[in-house]
Amino acid sequence: MQLNREDLLRAYRTMRLIRDFEERLHVEFATGEIPGFVHLYAGEEASAAGVCMHLGDKDHIASTHRGHGHCIAKGCDVSGMMNEIYGRKDGLCGGKGGSMHIADISKGMLGANGIVGGGPPLICGAALTAKVLKTGGVAIAFLGDGASNQGTTLESYNLASIWKLPAVFVVEDNGYAESTAASYAVAGSQSDRAKGFGMPSQVVDGFDFFAVHEAAGAAIERARAGEGPSLIHVQLSRYYGHFEGDGMTYRGPGEVDRLRADVDCLKRFRTKVTEAALLEASELDAIDRAVADQIDTSVRTAKSAPPPTEADLLTDVYVAY
Amino acid sequence: MSKKSFRQAINEALRQEMRRDPRVILMGEDVAGGAGAPGDDDAWGGVLGVTKGLVGEFGRERVLDTPLSESAYIGAAAGAAATGLRPVAELMFVDFMGVCFDQIFNQAAKFRYMFGGHAVTPLVIRMMYGAGFRAASQHSQCLYPIFTHIPGLKVVIPSSAYEAKGLLIQAIRDDDPVIFMENKVLYDQEEEVPDESYTIPFGEANLTREGSDVTIVGIGRMVQIANAAADALAKQGISCTVIDPRTTSPLDTGSILDSVEETGRLVIVDEASPRCNMATDISALVAQEAFGALRAPIRMVCPPHVPVPFAPNLEDLYVPDAARVEAAVRAVMQYAGKQGARA
């Protein structure tokens, strides 16, 4: 898929929105106003944006505990997300899900997921629906290097392959499952695992939006054409801990600083498109300002929004009971 | 109306619903059987033949043989349900829930609440349960109390062929995740079952016997054991009401409490392991809501707290039978109160 000006602006805007959303949550979480815990996606933006650029509302994604970026890239309302993370009635899930369960089924977003490896089987189901009902849709499972070791994931590779489902498994390998390094916990390689199930796979630099976008385009096109599932191994990193409050003592000295300075996906995108004269720096600056305002407004709104009412405790368990 | 087995009643319910709604699909291990194999195409129709013939009518696009991979296909059924299909997945034996439970209780059951009421997950998971098949510890459990414990799931346990057909059609049309439990000992039992489609609503108990002395609540096949005991006791002059709750979630608490208010005595027959099962749940309900009506302590007729044994003589000792129910009823009838406390 060729990217035109509008696509490039949209891609940058999506990544900037995710970055600012997460950087702001990092600040706000420290104030103690946000209940529970949050897992930030900052640093990984190119993956969600690069994959979801190819998707529409009839396509489904399943996300992870680190799900804010996938939600934003799939078109979830940012203010609704912020409200949800603050536990507000007007949150996307009425304040009943929180950070780890944000979903918007109408946007094809089947939920962040508190269970590592919970998503891949669900995505086989969404892909099955697309196949049986001939919707032309595809289904994408985002999963981490940690989830790549779950039986659910490996079973899903097999099921998707034997049923030739229109599915793509995007392994976002940020190098750490909680505090345990992927180099310790993952035997073999992600692409060899795909090969074992007869799936094509690609290894992609996850700091490079264009690389992710191209790889995802090929995998999604293949899925839509009825040729079956693929795997994309996206190599990237996270700027924050497993969860907010994680002291990250397991990381190397200066590791995150170097990542921010050398390989940051937003910086690289900006350099590439401005040097190639595809976009003006001023256009990107304008997006930065608009996004900053949007995040500011969403936080202000969420802070003053009402919580669910007492009656909400008992609703939404069943359609009817 | 014609005589149909429990197995035929379930098959007919599936066939009629698949004809009615193209979104209904079946998936599970060997639900057709013989996929990719050189022999017969509809080789098994389910491990005990319950789905036999359906692949012939609906094809392999709607009757999907799965790999032995319960996490993947039960999860896929949940994902398919949340995105527009109405899958009926077969887990085969309830004992296999252990390898896919996350997809049932953390995913399917919780979508609606976690997503603020925006998810609809019309999923049915069928499975066999129960002892009496000489199938030993890993193919004989009941385990419905575990599903009943989970908010977001409905749990259906039919006690006969007629009940199975109506309750399964209701389950398939229901918009929530439903666990549908089939006692494998019942598959060959026959009774009159209407040919046409019909539904039995959830949460409405069936009174299979009506009497004034003792209320007996039975779960699933234990309704038949309770009926047999009630019939024998009637000849001895003890008149029992037998309640089949049909569904343990939702549970028709009103029918149970109303009956206990009349009889003042309660015996619960539950084939599930005795700790935290339906018998303890219903006992707690009645102790809390109808304490004043009780004329005797509640009696629970359950297996001992051991895994299901293999040796036929041990398994026969394990499963509650009519004699034990009769003994429990006689015990509550003979209860005279604490010495000196009651006249």
Whether residue B85 and residue A163 make contact (CB cut-off 8 A), yes or no, is no
Q: Count of domains in chain B?
A: 2
The whole domain housing B55 covers 2-193
- Same domain membership, residue B160 and residue B40: yes
- Same domain membership, residue B116 and residue B18: yes
Q: Mean pLDDT, to the nearest integer, of B148-154?
A: 98
pLDDT tier for residue B224 given thresholds of 50, 70 and 90: very high
- Same domain membership, residue B222 and residue B319: yes
Whether residue A132 and residue B154 make contact (CB cut-off 8 A), yes or no, is no
Listed in order, strand segments (DSSP E) in B265-316 are 266-269, 299-301
Single residue among B147, B170, B193 that ends a domain in this structure = B193
| B342 found inside a domain | no
Residue B241's alpha-carbon distances to B118, B211, B258, B268, B277, in angstroms, are 42, 4, 11, 12, 21
Nearest to B76 among A111, A121, A318 (CB): A121
Q: Report the C-alpha gap between A40 and A44 in whole angstroms.
A: 9
| Beta pairing, strands B2-5 & B190-193 | antiparallel
Q: Report the C-alpha gap between A173 and A158 in whole angstroms.
A: 20
> Is the minimum CB–CB distance between B35 and chain A shorter than 8 Å?
no
Nearest to A126 among B83, B113, B152 (CB): B83
| A90 found inside a domain | no
- Same domain membership, residue B157 and residue B295: no
| B201 found inside a domain | no
Catalogue the active-site residues of B. Answer: 139
Q: Report the C-alpha gap between B278 and B260 in whole angstroms.
A: 16
- Same domain membership, residue B253 and residue B279: yes
- Same domain membership, residue B266 and residue B173: no
Whether residue B115 and residue A101 make contact (CB cut-off 8 A), yes or no, is yes
- What ipTM describes this predicted complex? 0.95
Q: Mean pLDDT, to the nearest integer, of A10-35?
A: 97
- 267-326 in B: which are within 8 Å (CB) of A? none
| A298 found inside a domain | no
- Same domain membership, residue B74 and residue B103: yes
- 77-106 in B: which are within 8 Å (CB) of A? 77-85, 87, 102-103, 106
Residue A230 has pLDDT above 90, yes or no: yes
**Distance from chain centroid for Cα A271:** 23
Nearest to A3 by CA among A217, A233, A270, A275: A217
pLDDT tier for residue B41 given thresholds of 50, 70 and 90: confident
Cis peptide before B250 (omega within 30 of 0): yes
Whether residue B69 and residue A96 make contact (CB cut-off 8 A), yes or no, is no
Residue B342 has pLDDT above 50, yes or no: no
| A254 found inside a domain | yes
- Same domain membership, residue B227 and residue B126: no
> Is the minimum CB–CB distance between B156 and chain A shorter than 8 Å?
no
Listed in order, strand segments (DSSP E) in chain B are 2-5, 24-28, 63-65, 86-93, 124-129, 154-156, 178-183, 190-193, 206-209, 214-218, 240-244, 247-249, 266-269, 299-301
- Same domain membership, residue B258 and residue B138: no
| A259 found inside a domain | yes
- Same domain membership, residue B90 and residue B62: yes
What CATH code is carried by the domain that includes residue B308? 3.40.50.920
| B113 found inside a domain | yes
Q: Count of domains in chain A?
A: 1
- Same domain membership, residue B164 and residue B211: no
Whether residue B115 and residue A128 make contact (CB cut-off 8 A), yes or no, is no
Nearest to B92 by CA among B16, B180, B151, B171: B180
| B98 found inside a domain | yes
| B198 found inside a domain | no
Nearest to B67 among A94, A130, A162 (CB): A162
pLDDT of residue B338: 60
Number of other residues whose CB lies within 10 A of the CB of residue B293: 17
| A165 found inside a domain | yes
CB distance B153 to B98 below 8 Å: no
| B45 found inside a domain | yes
Residues A65-81 pLDDT 10s: 999 999 999 999 999 99
Q: Is the dihedral of CA A20, A279, A10, A52 positive or negative?
A: negative
Residue A121 has pLDDT above 60, yes or no: yes
The whole domain housing A50 covers 5-15+42-68+103-293
Residue A281's alpha-carbon distances to A5, A265, A285, B27, B49, in angstroms, are 13, 16, 6, 54, 68
Q: Report the C-alpha gap between B156 and B170 in whole angstroms.
A: 10
| B132 found inside a domain | yes
What CATH code is carried by the domain that includes residue A218? 3.40.50.970
Q: Mean pLDDT, to the nearest integer, of B199-220?
A: 98
Using a 10 angstrom Cβ sphere, with 0-12 exposed, 13-18 middle and 19 or more buried, the burial of residue A75 is: middle
Q: Mean pLDDT, to the nearest integer, of B311-337?
A: 96
| A73 found inside a domain | no
Chain A residue with the nearest C-alpha to that of B248: A321
Q: Report the C-alpha gap between A70 and A294 in whole angstroms.
A: 18
pLDDT of residue B336: 86
| A250 found inside a domain | yes
- Same domain membership, residue B262 and residue B157: no
What CATH code is carried by the domain that includes residue B75? 3.40.50.970
